[in-house]
Structures are given as C-alpha cells and as structure tokens.
Chains A and B, each alone.
Chain A
Amino acid sequence: MAAGGSQTIVEEQADNLVEEQRALQARGTTDRAKEFKAAARRVSVFAAFLGFLALLYSAYRALGRALDHAQADWPIIGSFLPRSDDLAMPPIGDIVAGIGATQRGTGRPLGLLIAGEALSTLREAAIGFVVGAVLGLAIAIVLERSRLLERGLLPYVIGSQTIPLVAIAPIVVIWAPQSLDGLPWTWTGWMSVSIITTYLTFFPVAVNGLRGLQSPRPEDVELMRSYAAGWLPTLWRLRLPASLPYLFAAFKIAATISVVGAIVGEISGGVNGGLGRRILLEAQRYTTGPERLYVAVLGAAATGILVFLVISLLERLAIRGQKGVL
C-alpha cells in the first residue's frame, strides 16, 4: 500500500524524536555532578581573583616605595599618585595579622569581635530585608491589580528613594523610639536600623516584582481566563511563579544594599554593636593601627558577599529548571 510508506516515515521520525528526548532525560541525572563541579570552579576562580587583588595591592605598594625614593628628583610625579606608605596602605601581612591580633580590654582577637558585630549588622539587615521584601511584593501585587494605582502610586514609590539615606537614618533613630512606644516590646537602636533596611529593600522588590507580575504572555493570561480562574488563582498559579526570576534579581540587589544600608544607618544614627560602629571607631584611631580599619572593611565585604550567596542558593532551590534573569 502506498499509504504504508508515508506513514512509516512519519512514525520513524516520531521514534527518532523519542530517542532524542530519552538521551536528554539521561543527561539530567549527571546534571548534579556537573553543578557541583561548576560550583567548585567558581570558588577557585574567586580565590584566584582575591589572590590577584592582593598581588596588585602589593605591587602598587612596591611601585609607590620606588617613587618615594625618586621624589627628590621628580616631585611632581611623586605627589601626583595616591600615597602608598604603610599608614595609607598597610602591608597584606599586617592586615592578616590584624585579624588575629588580641584587642586591649576585651582580650579577644579582632576578627572574632568583628564577626560578632557583623552578626549584629546582619540581624538588622535580615529583618529589614524580610519586612521590606514582603512590603515590596504587597505593593507590586496591588499595583499590578490596578492600572490606575500603578500610574498614581508608582511615582511616589520611586520618589521615596530620592531622599538620601544619611538624611533618613538620624530621623528614624530619633523618631522611631518615640513614635513606636506602644509596641509590646521595648524599642532598641538596632530596630531603627531595620526600618532603614526595610526602606531600602521594598523599592527594588516592588519595582521588579511589578515587572515580573506583568511578565506572563497575553496567551497565558487568556488561558487562565479560559479556565474561569479568578484573580487569586491567576496570581498564585501564573503571575507569582512567572515573577520569581525578577523577584530574585531584586532580592540580590536588596540583600546587598541592606547590609551597606545597615552599616551607614548605624554610623549616621549612632547605633552601637554593629559593623558601622566598628568602622567609625577604627577610622578615628586609624593612625595607631591602620590595618584594623582594613580588617573591618573586609568584614563588611564578607557579610555582603554572604547574603548574596544565600539569596543565590535560595534562587536555585526556588526556580529549578527555570532560567533566571541574572
């Protein structure tokens, strides 16, 4: 039969497709091992990068020293480049030693003290981040719901971020304990810093979240409508999952600026116990031990990197098999 011929070709094609897909499936099981390898590679690349930075730092110091010697002959070049003496740029060895150096009065190494202070800053940042993320998402959901609200409110959401952080921090620190004394717990300084990090977090989450909630294709929305799905099921089963890559991009930004914001908030609000206070202190007594400020700054950087990694990990868990936007 002539039909038999063409039918077989079609079926053969379908079989080939099935084979191809089976191979793809098999590949899935080795993905985990590959993922692990990729992670290991990223860690070693990062370590190499840190080593490279240290090398660059030391090389500049050496160059500066040579120029200092030559300064008598060429004063212009000597004073044009940033200073590189031990006070401005303590040797790497001093900085590393500074981590373990015992601090007068406490009897504990500086690294440990800073780790404790980082934890305190981390708490302010984390609480503010969580509250800000929830608030930002709530705002995004409300703005997605209504075009009118989006047009009316979005400018204020954006406008709120034009006020400089250093101006807000002292206001919050003074205002919060007085205005929030009706709360069932006593207000302490670090909570004011959490208000500041809330303020920093809600914005990227609201703006990116809104874009994410609006990201489903029109056919996807029509599909949900064809199932007679109302607003809430459409939000839960379509808009929210579709917005996850956008939300995590915002979470990464928000988490890192929460840490920076908490430190700045501590400094300008005069809140003790965190990295902000430590940085201020080490800056004040800089001349008697410049490496201590460097250690404090490294601690702040490590804290920022830590929260970024935590969010990235959560992202991998939340959106398996889905491509992220970052």
Chain B
Amino acid sequence: MSSEPAAVTISGVSQVFNPGRPNEVRALDHIDLTVATGEFITLIGPSGCGKSTLLRLIAALLPLTGGEVKVNGKQADQARLDRDYGMAFQKAGLFDWRTVARNIELPLELMGWSKTDRRRRAREMLDLVKLGDFAGNRPAELSGGMQQRVAIARALSFSPSLLLMDEPFGALDEMTREHMQAELLRIWAETATTVVFVTHSIPEAVFLSSRVVVMSPRPGRVADIISVDLGTRQETTRESEAFFKKVTEVREALRAVERLS
C-alpha cells in the first residue's frame, strides 16, 4: 500500500444514543476498523448491531459521541463538507418532481457546476448505469432496480473517492439484485471508488466484497473480519465451491454472534 491515508479510519468509536436518559442505548462499542483506498468492504450483522449507525458516522450524518472517524485522513465532518463521499440508501430516494437526469444533476447543482457540465456529466453517468434512454423520464416510471441504478449514478456523479451504501438492493427481487451486484462491481472497477456497503444478505456480502465485517448486536461490536479472495467476480463465481465455502464461513460467524447475544 502507498503512503496516502486510508479511505476510512475508525478508532475506538463508541456511540451512545440519548445519553443520561432512561432510554439510553449503547449502539456501538469500541469499534476499530480501517478501510483501504480502493477496497470494497461490507458490514453484515443482525438487526440492531449498529451497522447503519456506523455508516452514518462515516458519513458524519450523526454527531459522534466517542472515538474518532477519519475519511481520507480528515475528520469525518470535514470530509462531508468537502464532499468526499457519495451515499445510496435502501430507498432510492429520488426526487419525484425531477426527471432522472435532473436527479443525477442534484449534487452537481449544489456544487455550482455549470448547466452544460451538469448535462454532460448526467449523460455520462446514465450511460455508465446503462439508462441512457431514460434521461427525461420521471423516477416513478422506472422499476425499482432502475431507480436504484439512478441513485448510484447520482452518488457517483461528482466522482467522490468513497461510496457509502446502506442496503441499497434490500428491496429488490433476487434476480434484479444479482444483476445489480454485477453492475456495481463493474462500476466499482471502472471508477476505482472505495465502497463501504451495509447488507443483510450473506451471499451478497461474499460476492461483492474483499472483506466482510461481521458485527454483533447490543452493543455493536466487530465480531469477525473475513477476507474473501475470489478473484474477479463472474456469474460462475456464485456457483463455485470457494464461494459456498466463504458463505458458510460468514454464516457460521453470524451464528456464533447470535449465540453470544
């Protein structure tokens, strides 16, 4: 690895909601995690393990109550202000009063890009996610998978070095989901973006990432980190022996977590 700072450095992060009140909740407990630049990492764990909370702390969408989160060597909030990351949620979250192209242009507008630059970039991004024909459509006219692709195009439109994804394919049917996973890996390879990806699905985590972070609930902790080395992913990868072995490994790690709690 080069001497440039890691994409994400999480050190000693503990997150407490409603501190000092009767409904105080310790969501995260002493999390340490480093994500290398260009890496694809997934966070997996049962509900309530704080994986979404951890993602929101990297995005500086929540005030941090303990520890330190750095993105590209900067404090997370500074990275947010510098627009170092793009984000995609479980719901595509497209603005239905804007066309598909204008949804992708939204972050560019906020960054003061000129109209011609915005138009050109929106077109490039639509080609990247293979939706070139739908620039003028309304989000409501697109299928769930297509909407999610628009959301990814929007998140990547300003070429952030980091992409944060919170169960973006959670609401899609299985075939669309597998298709989207392949698409995401292709885009990841083409754009050389670092990805932190939250999911509930074990095969999804194994198929997508180079490392799977298994988290345990109440309070959220890192229980295990499983490296996945399956080479360049193809559709055959899903049916390979090595893939099943990794799926089993992650599943057993999750079972161990459940036994503990």
Contact = CB atoms under 8 A, between A and B. Distances in A.
A17 B130 CA distance: 12
Interface residues of A, number: 35
B61 A2 contact: no
A6 B238 CA distance: 10
A316 B27 CA distance: 46
Interface stretch (B137-145, B204-212, B223-231): B137-145
A284 interface: no
A15 to B, nearest CB: 11
A291 B138 CA distance: 52
A85 B117 CA distance: 75
A242 B176 CA distance: 29
A223 B97 contact: no
Contacts of B56: 222
Contacts of A227: 83, 106-107, 110-111
Main secondary structure of the interface of A (DSSP, over half): helix
A231 B220 CA distance: 32
Given A17-B146, A228-B80, A220 B95 contact: yes
Contact of B89 (A24, A223, A238, A322): A223
Interface in A1-36: 1-3, 6-7, 9-10, 13-14, 17-18, 20-22, 24-25
Contacts, number: 94
Contacts of B133: 18, 21-22, 25
A6 B146 CA distance: 20
A241 B236 contact: no
A17 B145 contact: yes
B110 A229 contact: yes
Given A13-B179, A222-B61, A229-B110, A244 B239 contact: no
Contact of B140 (A6, A17, A321): A321
Contact of B137 (A21, A226, A229, A244): A21
A25 B136 CA distance: 9
A219 B93 CA distance: 7
Contacts of A2: 236, 239
B93 A237 contact: no
A321 B235 CA distance: 38
Instruction: Indicate the member of B81, B140, B235, B236 with the most A CB atoms within 10 Å.
Output: B235
A228 B81 contact: yes
B243 interface: no
Contact of B142 (A21, A228, A229): A21
Instruction: Indicate the member of B86, B106, B140, B145 with the most A CB atoms within 10 Å.
Output: B106
B239 A322 contact: no
Instruction: Indicate the member of A6, A9, A225, A228 with the most B CB atoms within 10 Å.
Output: A228
Nearest to A238: B95
Interface string B38-59: 0000000000000000001001
A21 B85 CA distance: 31
Interface in B83-98: 83, 85-87, 89, 91, 93, 95-98
Contact of A321 (B87, B138, B238): B138
Contact of A10 (B91, B95, B175): B175
A242 B138 CA distance: 15
Given A17-B145, A219-B93, A319-B97, A7 B59 contact: no
A142 to B, nearest CB: 23
Interface string A193-231: 000000000000000000000000101101101111100
A228 B82 CA distance: 8
Contact of B80 (A1, A22, A226): A226
A21 B145 CA distance: 12
B235 A223 contact: no
Interface in B127-180: 130, 133-134, 137-138, 140-143, 145-146, 175-176, 178-179
B130 to A, nearest CB: 8
Given A2-B236, A6-B235, A21 B93 contact: no
B96 A322 contact: yes
B105 to A, nearest CB: 11
Contacts of B109: 237
Given A6-B238, A217-B93, A321-B138, 12 more contacts: A3-B236, A6-B236, A13-B176, A17-B145, A21-B137, A22-B133, A25-B134, A219-B91, A222-B87, A226-B85, A228-B83, A228-B110
6 contacts: A6-B235, A13-B176, A21-B133, A226-B61, A227-B106, A228-B81
